[in-house]
Amino acid sequence: MTDFSEDDLREVLADRSSRADGWSVPVDVIVREGERLRRRRRLAAGAAFVAVTVSVGGAVTVARGVTAPLPSPAAGRPAFAPALDAEPPDRWVSKAGVMSLIHGERGTLPGGRDVVFVPTSTNTTMVMHCSDPRAWVVTATTRYAWTEEELRALGRSAAESPAPRERGGKTREGASLEIGRCGGPQSDYVEWQYDTLSAGLDWTGRRQSVKVWIFPSGVSIRADEPGLRGKCPGSDGPPRTCDGSYLIDIGSPERSADSLVDALGPAAGTWTLGVYEGRTSARSAG
């Protein structure tokens, strides 16, 4: 169903009216322009996300793609904006094209959730919408451990592997921890895209699980990277804090994130998450 805010419709109507020389503007024209406006805003949106890849051995790599921090929340603003009533849309348009929903979830409280699905291809995208676009989203997954032989079979080099390498050429299976806002300055969603390298050979046709936590926008959250224990040695937690920020342990994110949920307590608000693929398939069982 087409969904526009009052501001969207006012903007389109004002623009069209100024160019219509006094003539009324047909409703279908307003709807088309509204859809075009929403597409432009969505394509321009840049959700600020910091990805931290952690191997079992403890090596840390901060991924590219970090955008400028968003302004601080206004004083007195609630932890979440009014609730979302919508379910994840059945279709999603990404850089890979039009994608179909294979699994959807909806939550009403901040906390941990295991998102379980069975993909039928590596062309997979996850999209989360939040009633407060500035809410914090923390995700934890496990990366596939590639061998040099497997990468060569794909026509790729070992340097392209998303996971750190051990001696002998085998990459180490590791945890991928991501911390960021649910939306950007002009969007109410965040998007994760998988491909053959990031998904791995055990992705298609098998049960996959992504751990997701949602936290209020008014707190500060960051990864507990090496060196912070020396900087804030008195904070043992969980949850640990440093310089006013709650820390998510990169080695065991579930323990620190779950403890933060308990420490913060419940807050009003909702979120939806959809898992999409580049070709139509049946929804996976939850």
Write out pLDDT tens, residues 51-64.
Answer: 444 433 333 333 33
pTM over 0.85: no
Residue 3 is predicted with a pLDDT of 47
| Mean pLDDT for the stretch of residues 258-271 | 82
Residue of higher predicted confidence among 101 and 10: 101
Rounded CA separation 50/73 (Å): 19
Residue 103 is predicted with a pLDDT of 96
Position 7 confidence tier, pLDDT thresholds 50, 70, 90: low
Q: Cis link prior to 238 (omega < 30° from 0)? A: yes
Residue 285 is predicted with a pLDDT of 37
Task: Please write the tens of the pLDDT for every residue from 213-262.
Answer: 999 888 898 888 766 666 776 556 678 888 888 888 877 788 888 888 88
Task: State the burial class of residue 49 (Cβ atoms within 10 Å of its Cβ: 0-12, 13-18, 19+).
Answer: buried
**Least confident stretch, 22-31, 52-61, 268-277:** 52-61
Please write down the HEC assignment for all residues of 222-249. EEECCCHHHHCCCCCCCCCEECCEEEEE
Task: Please write the tens of the pLDDT for every residue from 74-127.
Answer: 333 344 445 566 789 999 998 878 999 999 998 866 778 899 999 999 999 999
Residue matched to tokens 């791995």? 200
Q: What is the mean pLDDT of the chain?
A: 70
Rounded CA separation 27/19 (Å): 15
Residue 198 is predicted with a pLDDT of 84
- Of 12-16, 38-42, 71-75, 115-119, which has the strongest mean pLDDT? 115-119
Rounded CA separation 85/116 (Å): 22
Residue 267 is predicted with a pLDDT of 74
**What is the enclosing helix (H) or strand (E) of 102?**
strand 97-107
- Of 178-182, 245-249, 266-270, which has the strongest mean pLDDT? 178-182
Residue of higher predicted confidence among 153 and 171: 153
Reduced to 3 states (helix: H, G, I; strand: E, B; else coil), residue 165 is strand
Residue 8 is predicted with a pLDDT of 53
Instruction: Give the domain ranges of the chain.
Output: 1-44, 49-65+80-277
Position 33 confidence tier, pLDDT thresholds 50, 70, 90: low
Residue 17 has pLDDT above 90, yes or no: no
Are 125 and 194 a contacting pair, CB within 8 Å? yes
What are the structure tokens assigned to 9, written together? 């419709």
| Mean pLDDT for the stretch of residues 18-36 | 50
**What is the enclosing helix (H) or strand (E) of 55?**
strand 49-55
Residue of higher predicted confidence among 266 and 200: 200
Position 128 confidence tier, pLDDT thresholds 50, 70, 90: very high
| Mean pLDDT for the stretch of residues 2-28 | 50
Q: Helix 6-18 to helix 27-44 angle, to the nearest 10 degrees?
A: 120
